[in-house]
Amino acid sequence: MQGSGRVILAEGGACSELRSEAFGLIIFGASGDLTHRKLIPALFSLYRRRLLHDSFFVLGCARSLMSDEVFRTKVRESLTSLPDGDFSCLDGFLARLHYVAGDYTVADLYPRLRVAVEGLEQRYGTESNRIVYLATPPSLFCPIVQRLGTFQLTCEKRHPDCRVSVVVEKPFGKDLTSALALDAELHQLLNERQIYRIDHYLGKETVQNILMFRFANAVFEPIWSRQYVDHVQVTVAESLGVESRAGYFEQAGLLRDMFQNHILQVLALVTMEAPVSFEAERVRDEKVKLLRAIRAFPMANLDEYIVRGQYSDGQIEGRRLPAYRSEQGVAPDSSVETYVAAKVLIDNWRWHGVPFYLRSGKRLVGKATEIAIVFKKVPYSIFTPFSADALGQNVLVLNIHPEEAVALTIQVKSPGPKLCMSSLMMEFRYRDVFGVTPPDAYERLILDCIAGDQTLFIRSDAMEVAWTLFTPILEKWSADPSCIPYSAGSWGPAEANRILEPGHYWRTPSSYSES
């Protein structure tokens, strides 16, 4: 039996959200999906909430030929198609948008770009803070940065307090060798403090709240260890298939797409030691220490630790769903995995012996992202005739999707003269408690980039450790391309159960949506 508790927001509290510094943002790939679906809406939301400095500009750059006005018209169309209908300040935002067209691989673009950037920096007074966002395929990262350097567009010496930041999207390499090569090439052109490897998962409110829960509440941190935690589950489930991303997904697969970055970063936040301060490098130091403590997967009996699957045809609520191999752009004999479940062990004092179950997949029952910390059972029951095994376990669930929420399951006595035990879930949703929808992850990450704060961005050594962990698996899979089929509309292949330790089972996410 399960009930819902009630949460009341206490008086007081502290807030450190401030308006941004002045900045100029240059977006390569300005005509693309990422720019119009994520970056521009995030910037507009910040502008509407008055979190952007009065002095800023956005300069789009792409191959498509268009004027400033045409670019603004396209942005207007993108923004006004969003469900939020408050566009009273849209004209003021659009006036800050500018555009330069050109081929990224042709040197002719960059002198024109430099003239445009320097003119806008003078006009808006943003000379000290220049941000370059590479919303392009990774193959263009180095050619673009190299030409930017040639024309002094990444130089930090032009102004006493100048900062130039370069934001790169995933995928950052496809294995350890390619990632190190890309990293080495970027470091020939940029300092590590200039490189912002973005992972949008780290911008989500609930993900950020992991550290607040752990290190701002004395009640949780003492029990956040092997002495009290039985196991942890991280689930990232999607009901959609590959949709329009088949070309990318056929090259990447789910292990590269989700585990090497998003899921591993979330795991690090859940398990890292307390940093000495909330300063970027101290937080990232602890994340890297944790990642280095993850036990390497044993290649000899890999199937006991990781399972991969690929969705076959199926249905959700009567709607027929095609198999992965039937999707447009997918090879008819593809062996690319669309589902991965893994058991991870951490060899350090805090977590030794605690299994961490990580899973992610496409075309599952619903869309859900949650972190569940399952605590150990009580050692002995005084409530005859209930044994300790009969009493439910305490579970702390951090929901990231479909709603950002936190829930804690505890055991209570049901009302009445008899001794009846019930599980009670105390839950709060950000929307209900704070009266607002949590901002998009890109909003927080853009603000941090403007401020020069790299706390939520991936450092070079963390990227290297992640690839070191997963590259041997990718190499083994390339030699043995077999993939376990699972029905679209299920929770994945039944074979995922074989990695679970005795007494453990996969949780059904406490909430999920069909889209």
Q: Which residues pair with 410 in a beta bridge?
A: 424
Q: Check if the beta carbon of residue 504 is closer than 8 Å to that of residue 377.
A: no
Q: Find the length of the chain.
A: 515
Secondary structure in 3-state letters for 127-171: CCEEEEEECCCHHHHHHHHHHHHHCCCCCCCCCCCCEEEEEECCC
CA pair distance 214, 229, nearest whole angstrom: 14
What type of residue sits at position 224? W
- The full DSSP string for 267-328 is HHHHHPPPPSSS-HHHHHHHHHHHHHHBPPP-STTGGGTEEEEEEESEEETTEEE--GGGST
Burial grade of 274 (CB within 10 A; 0-12, 13-18, 19 or more):
middle
CA pair distance 438, 425, nearest whole angstrom: 22
Q: Check if the beta carbon of residue 405 is closer than 8 Å to that of residue 206.
A: yes
Edge to edge, what strands does the sheet with 23-28 contain? 97-101, 56-62, 23-28, 129-134, 163-168, 195-197
Structure-block tokens of residue 108: 């002719």
Burial grade of 197 (CB within 10 A; 0-12, 13-18, 19 or more):
buried
CA pair distance 256, 94, nearest whole angstrom: 37
Q: 200 by DSSP, 3-state: which?
A: helix
Is 401 a residue of the active site? Answer: no
Phi and psi at residue 74, in whole multiples of 5°? -65, -40
The sign of the CA dihedral 269, 272, 278, 279 is: negative
CA pair distance 100, 71, nearest whole angstrom: 10
Which residue out of 36, 200, 231, 262 is catalytically annotated? 262
Structure-block tokens of residue 481: 């391309």
Q: Which residues are catalytic?
A: 262
